[in-house]
Structure 1
């Protein structure tokens, strides 16, 4: 099939014709006053039309530019929202499990760190007795207890239904243990407003990782310390035996 050779329409065809007629009159040595006036009138009308169209196009362009800027800003906002949702727990606003692991591995590429894992004691009983909305209230309350205590560089993550991790860059296991004890005491003293007025407690496991070490291995050891705290009576802090690296 042969290509379409139909020429594109000239957007300024009317103005081009008026200009050609005016030039022909200008170049005609025999044109009289009437012809010159007519040519000038055509030029004025064409110029006014061109001016109106130019203003309309500029106005439209400005509106489209503003709309494009607005859409671009919204696109950046949506990208930020999507990134936040992909890395944060929707209930508490702290990091989710995947983001905790990624952040920990990034930290271990540059420095050592300590980590604290904690699990809310008897959480199933809370959900079964009072319902999931009360359970959600307890989870949010635990995060509210942790946030004022962690240093600015630390990151809190929710890695399971009622299990949390606190990443502490550059901290020793002794410092992490002290912080874990403060967290434990804060949760135990907090009024969670349960229907039966009972207290909420949590058990803690603490571990430490040297630079370049395996997060999976150290997390497993801290998790074992956590379950040792559970077996030891709950509402207590237990440390892994040594720094892993």
Structure 2
């Protein structure tokens, strides 16, 4: 126990003085300078020693400055890499890996904010008979079809709207502050663009999509707005697919 207490009471060794020899040389030079009757050789010897230490000090200073500059450059490079990584992580957290559009969580958050502040038009679309594509041609071909659908959407959707993938073959297009007529026009343009696109091998045919549109005033809840658009999409499916339907109770 006594040894343990003594160990805890021992203070750490002081840090070594990196310039001890220079300090001693300087003190020696001051002592020599104070000598009233020293001859020239004593002064020359003292000055020579002081110059030697000064030169070493200069070399060490340059080395430390160089090391500091390298450390700063490395730190700046590391900070740049961290910022890039942060942006990549943020992108991956909010975007669909297959298509690059907003993922389910991100488009829901954006829609909820738009509904709260400005109201919004919601367009919900679903690829017609997509299960048949996967069953007949396989999932890689299905993924290619999904990417092709998104390419068609991007050709039509401008900067004032956002595209999100909310399910396997289901997407949402959000128009913050939009009007019903604007949403219907945009949905019809997207429908036509998809229907006119011929997908490559192994599908080698056109694919269609069905659309539901709801217009929602500020303060409308997300579930209400989405439910209206989804019901309209259901009517479009029941009415023969490859069409745009509007929610009866858009608010």
Query: With structure 1 as the length reference, what TM-score do the two structures score?
Result: 0.96
CA distance in 1, matches of 2:203, 2:105: 35
Q: What residue number does 1:66 align with?
A: 73
Give the match's secondary structure for 1:9. coil
2:50 matched to 1:43? yes
Q: Within 5 A, what are the aligned runs for 1:118-157?
A: 118-157=125-164
The structure 1 segments of at least 4 consecutive aligned residues displaced by more than 6 Å after TM superposition are none
Q: Within 5 A, what are the aligned runs for 1:141-180?
A: 141-180=148-187
Contact 1:206 1:239 in 2 (8 A): yes
What is the CA RMSD across the aligned residues, in angstroms? Answer: 1.1
Give the match's secondary structure for 2:9. coil
Q: What residue number does 1:22 align with?
A: 29
Q: Which runs of 5 or more residues in structure 1 are unaligned? A: none
User: After superposition, what is the alpha-carbon deviation per residue over 1:97-127, rounded to whole angstroms, capped at 9, x for unaligned?
Assistant: 0000111112123211101000001111101
User: After superposition, what is the alpha-carbon deviation per residue over 1:40-66, rounded to whole angstroms, capped at 9, x for unaligned?
Assistant: 001100110000000000011001001
Q: What residue number does 1:6 align with?
A: 13
Q: Which runs of 5 or more residues in structure 2 are unaligned? A: 1-7
2:114 matched to 1:107? yes
CA distance in 2, matches of 1:108, 1:57: 59
Q: Within 5 A, what are the aligned runs for 1:193-232?
A: 193-195=200-202, 197-232=204-239
2:250 matched to 1:243? yes
CA distance in 2, matches of 1:41, 1:78: 55
CA distance in 2, matches of 1:226, 1:32: 107
Give the match's secondary structure for 1:101. helix
> Which of residues 197, 200, 212 is equivalent to 1:190?
197
Q: What residue number does 1:54 align with?
A: 61
Q: Which moved more, 1:234-243 or 1:78-87?
A: 234-243
Residues 1:48 and 1:220: Cα distance change in structure 2 (over 3 Å): same
User: After superposition, what is the alpha-carbon deviation per residue over 1:174-216, rounded to whole angstroms, capped at 9, x for unaligned?
Assistant: 2211211111111011011143533200011101111111011
Contact 2:133 2:203 in 1 (8 A): no
Give the match's secondary structure for 1:92. coil
User: After superposition, what is the alpha-carbon deviation per residue over 1:83-107, rounded to whole angstroms, capped at 9, x for unaligned?
Assistant: 0000000111100000001111121
Shift of 1:151: 2.4
CA distance in 2, matches of 1:5, 1:202: 75
CA distance in 2, matches of 1:197, 1:79: 40
CA distance in 1, matches of 2:55, 2:37: 28
CA distance in 2, matches of 1:5, 1:138: 69
Contact 1:119 1:163 in 2 (8 A): yes
